[in-house]
Structure formats: C-alpha cells, structure tokens
Chains A and B, each alone.
Chain A
Amino acid sequence: EDQVTQSPEALRLQEGESSSLNCSYTVSGLRGLFWYRQDPGKGPEFLFTLYSAGEEKEKERLKATLTKKESFLHITAPKPEDSATYLCAVQASETSYDKVIFGPGTSLSVIP
C-alpha cells in the first residue's frame, strides 16, 4: 500500500537555527513528490515538485531534496514567518488518475 510518513511531528526552532524535515514514502513507482506549506485556517500552498532521485529545488530559505525512499526539506536560518505546517505528498505512477497521497505533516514553530 502506498504510504507517506513525516518526521518529526512537531519542531521548535530558534530564529536562525537551521534544520531539516523528513518525508519517507513507499510507492510502487514515483511520479512526483510535492512539498506544501499550510498556515492555520488556509489551504495548502504549493512549494516544490521533485521527480527523480538526486533532484534539488530551492526557494528562499527552503531547499528540497529527493532520494529513492525519502525527501528532505532543509530550512536555513529560519524566521518566525516560516512557522507553518509542512506537508509532503506523493503521486504514484501506477494510478490511472492523478491521485496524491498526503503525509501527516510537520508543524514548525520558529521562535524569535
């Protein structure tokens, strides 16, 4: 069964303290892996798509990487405005339609 897990469940960082969030996935074939940011009371906001192992994407203080079994979201020198829940999702290649499976998310708090 296709599955996505994320760790840690919650993370508190001091402003400027870099860290990484993990997303582990089990699918028969990966079509794409996605990272989203979700603020309280809002819909998820798209951040990155990764398609193959070794691929990296960057946006401001965020950098996403992908291996064959997991993805990391690296946050460099975070600021309080980076506080949010970060969701990882995968799309499997064996599905006949564009179903995306979401992980449970990591709640990030950045303390000034």
Chain B
Amino acid sequence: SAVISQKPSRDICQRGTSLTIQCQVDSQVTMMFWYRQQPGQSLTLIATANQGSEATYESGFVIDKFPISRPNLTFSTLTVSNMSPEDSSIYLCSVEPGGAEQYFGPGTRLTVT
C-alpha cells in the first residue's frame, strides 16, 4: 500500500485564476495518476504522470488547462488553469505502488466562484 497526502484539502477560487494541487506519496512510485470527480459522479482520469517524461492526457483534457509536473518519484503537482465554475470538482491523485491496484489521496475539493 501507500500513504498519500494532498494540499490543499479544499479551496475556493475566483474565476480566471489558477490553483496548483500538490500530491506527496510516502514511497517511490513510477506512475502517478490525476482524477477529477464532479459532484455526485464517479472518477474520470485526467492524466498519467511518469517521472522524467511528459504526462499522458486523456481525451477531453489538455496540457494548457491542466499542466502537470513530476519532478521526482514521490511528488507531483496538478495545476487547474484559468478556472471557471465548471472546474468545481474534487481532484484526486493516486499511485500504483506494486500490484495493479491504485491507492488514492484524500482529494482536493475545489470551488470556483
């Protein structure tokens, strides 16, 4: 398993601004994942981040809107850029430390006004 922390846990932001979410894991992992969970809905994968390479984005998500950094094997950031109310969601990071299962952080609850 893995222990994952995220910062901030929640934030309220103004339209047009950007927010950077941090994800820290307690062990070295190759792949980290970023998900979005809109109110009352399930998880949608935004991108997969490998250390030392560009993130791989899913259909409907672009790097200009959701830039990701992965500077080392225990840390990643996701930035939500030029925010609109439609970006209000819970953002979750996860890791795959050994087997096929993923372990999730507690999430960042973002509200855009």
Contact = CB atoms under 8 A, between A and B. Distances in A.
Interface of A: 31-32, 34, 36, 41-46, 49, 87, 89, 91, 97-105
B78 to A, nearest CB: 14
Interface residues of B, number: 25
A89 B33 CA distance: 15
A46 to B, nearest CB: 5
Contacts of A91: 100
Contacts of B56: 97
7 contacts: A32-B100, A41-B107, A43-B105, A49-B100, A87-B43, A101-B45, A104-B41
A79 B99 CA distance: 30
A2 to B, nearest CB: 12
A102 B96 contact: no
Contacts of B110: none
Nearest to A96: B56
Contact of B92 (A43, A46, A104): A43
Interface of B: 1, 4, 31, 33, 41-45, 48, 56, 58, 92, 94, 96, 99-107, 109
The A interface is mostly helix, strand or loop, or mixed, namely: strand
B48 A97 contact: yes
B109 A98 contact: no
B14 to A, nearest CB: 23
Given A98-B96, A102-B43, A34 B106 contact: no
Closest 10 CB pairs of A and B: A43-B104, A32-B100, A102-B43, A102-B42, A104-B42, A44-B104, A46-B101, A43-B107, A49-B101, A43-B106
Contact of A98 (B4, B31, B41, B105): B31
A45 B107 CA distance: 12
Contacts of B58: 99
Given A49-B100, A98-B31, A104-B41, 13 more contacts: A32-B100, A34-B102, A41-B109, A43-B94, A43-B104, A44-B92, A46-B101, A87-B43, A89-B43, A99-B48, A102-B42, A102-B43, A103-B42
